[in-house]
């Protein structure tokens, strides 16, 4: 049976702004308070989806969330009408209003961890929504994420949904941003690679000194258990704490994998040799031949990687077996990174082509091409069971572009977030979106 990797991209929500909310994420910190363009951000994301669809890849779309999250503000003690809740939060606790307005759900690599049916004990595709509990503004995403994923993959015979892990730091889980899968064919059993930043219960693992390690070993192990993964189909590796302290807040900022290939920076991991050997032998068990491409620090420094997001690229398989790298334009702007990419694609290796995308609006908050997509490997039968409303097609691209043009603001700055009109605009837009994507009622304002 045919199988595919389907990329579901997060549609940028109408409140996209630069809140400076993510300590440890250099871009989010340095662009704090700048004014944003939600319209441009959403159109940039849609242009990437369209381009991949036109290149022949399977492409889907994941809906944004209801923001401002009035219900979250109510849980923090603000009361009155919705407009009063926003007005009071703006007056008494602006950082909380900013957090409740974040469009951070666009980075859907953090929405969930997904295990394809070929890897799981019950032969279903398993999803665990990420609790994202390291940052308050992201910790409020998972209930809606679960409802949206449930509406997209609404078939119990093929899809199993798990709620987020307990919302405490010991089970900090950031989803697929710290998870990669290696396989020969997408429909065959593979090796799931979980990268953690620290251990919550075992102090033999070193932790970063400056910035938080968002993913724990214990969270990754819990996800592997929930999904029914075989021990010999899983590899755990620790991220190098020193790179977390240099701004590598997720593993997908320093490594990316696809098929049988891991593309990574020399400084990405601890115990790298042991990890590579384990990946090689476990992939061999299922008939695969593991290959790795290590980018030396002499060619690209960790700082170059963090600024350019070289590794936050999408590594895609083409029909002839070669691979294509989708990179943000910041890679072109960095001389060393661009020179490295030229030498990589002309070296006769598997990665033959690089395509550059303008994702500046998202990049300024630390979200590159790979952050914007959730990968779901599906066989033909499973793909046919996905809600067809969320699969990208030329007409859907047209509808979504028109929808963005109609509802999104060109500019947004912090003071605009207190405007009660913004809440109405967002709800009107999202109500229409659930009809376009045929999701049914998934937002709090539609349910309560
Ligand atoms: O969690 N930025 C996100 C970026 C997530 C990128 N995802 C992956 N690497 N997979 C984060 O730090 C910034 C929001 C703000 O500051 O307004 C933010 O949430």
The ligand 1 site (C-beta within 6 Å) comprises 18-22, 25, 28, 102, 104, 107, 109-110, 138, 177, 249-250, 252-253, 365-367, 371
Q: Is 431 exposed, middle or buried (0-12, 13-18, 19+ CB in 10 A)?
A: middle
Active-site entry in 40, 174, 382, 414: 174
Structure tokens at 40: 């441009």
What's the pLDDT score for residue 398? Answer: 98
Residue range 158-169: average pLDDT?
98
What integer best gives the mean pLDDT of the chain?
98
Within 13 Å of residue 268, how many CA atoms lie on the same side as its CB? Answer: 31
448 band by pLDDT with thresholds 50, 70 and 90: confident
Q: What are the residues whose beta carbons fall under 8 Å from the beta carbon of 96, sequence distance 6 or more?
A: 73, 76, 89
Q: What is the total residue count of the chain?
A: 448
Q: Supply the CATH classification number for the domain 3-67+102-447.
A: 3.75.10.20
Query: Residue 46 pLDDT > 80, yes or no?
Result: yes
Question: Ligand 1: distance of its center to the CA of 27 in Å?
Answer: 9
- Out of 21, 29, 94, 96, give the residue to mutate to test ligand 1, the one with the largest number of ligand atoms within 8 Å of its CB: 21
Model confidence over 187-240: pLDDT tens digits? 999 999 999 999 999 999 999 999 999 999 999 999 999 999 999 999 999 999
User: Rounded to two decimals, what is the model's pTM?
Assistant: 0.98
Question: How far separated are the first and last CA of the chain, in Å rounded?
Answer: 42
Q: What is the DSSP letter of 280?
A: H
Model confidence over 371-411: pLDDT tens digits? 999 999 999 999 999 999 999 999 999 999 999 999 999 99
What's the pLDDT score for residue 396? Answer: 98
Beta strands in 259-328 (DSSP E): 261-265, 291-295, 314-317, 323-328
Question: Ligand 1: distance of its center to the CA of 230 in Å?
Answer: 31
Angle at 259 between CA 215 and CA 181, to 5 degrees: 25
Structure tokens at 418: 């207190």
For residues 70 and 90, give the distance between their C-alpha atoms in angstroms, rounded to a whole number.
Answer: 12
Q: What are the residues whose beta carbons fall under 8 Å from the beta carbon of 289, sequence distance 6 or more?
A: 184, 260, 283
* Active-site residue, 280 included: no
What's the pLDDT score for residue 334? Answer: 98
Q: Is 90 helix (H, G, I), strand (E, B) or coil?
A: helix
Model confidence over 300-318: pLDDT tens digits? 999 999 999 999 999 999 9
Domain residue ranges in the chain? 3-67+102-447
For residues 49 and 401, give the distance between their C-alpha atoms in angstroms, rounded to a whole number.
Answer: 11
Model confidence over 84-127: pLDDT tens digits? 999 999 999 999 999 999 999 999 999 999 999 999 999 999 99
> Is the separation of the CB atoms in 262 and 290 below 8 Å?
yes
Closest among 198, 203, 111, 100 to 148, alpha carbons compared: 111
Question: Ligand 1: distance of its center to the CA of 231 in Å?
Answer: 31
DSSP 125-149: EEEEE---TTSHHHHTSHHHHHHHH
What's the pLDDT score for residue 114? Answer: 99
* Active-site residue, 250 included: yes
Residue range 236-261: average pLDDT?
98
């Amino acid at each position: 049976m045919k199988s595919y990797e389907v990329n579901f991209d997060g549609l940028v929500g109408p409140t996209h702004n630069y809140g400076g909310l993510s300590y440890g994420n250099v871009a989010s910190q340095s662009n704090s308070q700048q004014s944003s363009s939600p319209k441009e951000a959403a159109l940039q994301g849609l242009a990437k989806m369209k381009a991949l669809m036109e290149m022949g890849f399977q492409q889907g779309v994941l809906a944004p969330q209801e923001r401002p999250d009035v219900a979250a503000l109510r849980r923090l003690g603000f009361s009155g009408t919705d407009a009063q809740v926003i007005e009071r939060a703006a007056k008494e606790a602006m950082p909380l209003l900013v957090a409740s307005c974040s469009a951070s759900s666009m980075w859907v690599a953090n929405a969930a961890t997904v295990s394809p049916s070929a890897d799981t004990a019950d032969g279903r595709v398993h999803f665990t929504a990420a609790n994202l509990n390291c940052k308050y503004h992201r910790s409020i995403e998972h209930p809606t994420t679960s409802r949206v994923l449930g509406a997209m993959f609404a078939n119990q015979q093929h899809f199993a949904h798990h709620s987020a892990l307990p919302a405490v730091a010991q089970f900090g889980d950031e989803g697929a941003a710290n998870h990669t899968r290696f396989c020969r064919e997408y429909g065959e059993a593979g090796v799931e690679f979980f990268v953690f930043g620290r251990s919550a219960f075992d102090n033999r693992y070193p932790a970063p000194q400056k910035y938080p390690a968002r993913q724990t070993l214990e969270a990754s192990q819990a996800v592997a258990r929930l999904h029914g993964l075989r021990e010999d189909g899983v590899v755990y590796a620790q991220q190098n704490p020193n790179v977390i302290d240099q701004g590598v807040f997720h593993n997908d900022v320093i490594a990316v994998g696809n098929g049988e290939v891991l593309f990574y920076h020399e400084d990405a991991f601890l115990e790298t040799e042991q990890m590579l050997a384990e990946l090689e032998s476990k992939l061999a068990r299922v008939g695969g031949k593991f290959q790795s491409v290590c980018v030396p620090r002499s060619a690209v420094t960790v700082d170059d990687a963090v600024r350019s997001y070289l590794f936050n690229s999408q590594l895609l398989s083409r029909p002839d077996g070669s691979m294509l790298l989708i990179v943000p334009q910041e890679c072109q702007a960095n001389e060393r990174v661009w020179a490295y990419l030229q030498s990589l694609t002309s070296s006769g290796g598997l990665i033959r082509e690089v395509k550059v995308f303008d994702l500046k609006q998202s990049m300024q908050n630390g979200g590159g091409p790979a952050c914007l997509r959730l990968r779901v490997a599906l066989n033909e039968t499973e793909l046919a069971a996905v809600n067809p409303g969320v699969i990208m097609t030329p007409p859907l691209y047209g509808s979504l572009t028109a929808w963005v043009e109609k509802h999104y603001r060109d500019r947004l700055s912090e003071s605009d977030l207190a405007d009660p009109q913004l809440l109405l605009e967002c709800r009107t837009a999202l109500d229409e979106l659930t009809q376009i994507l045929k999701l049914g009622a998934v937002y709090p304002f539609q349910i309560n």
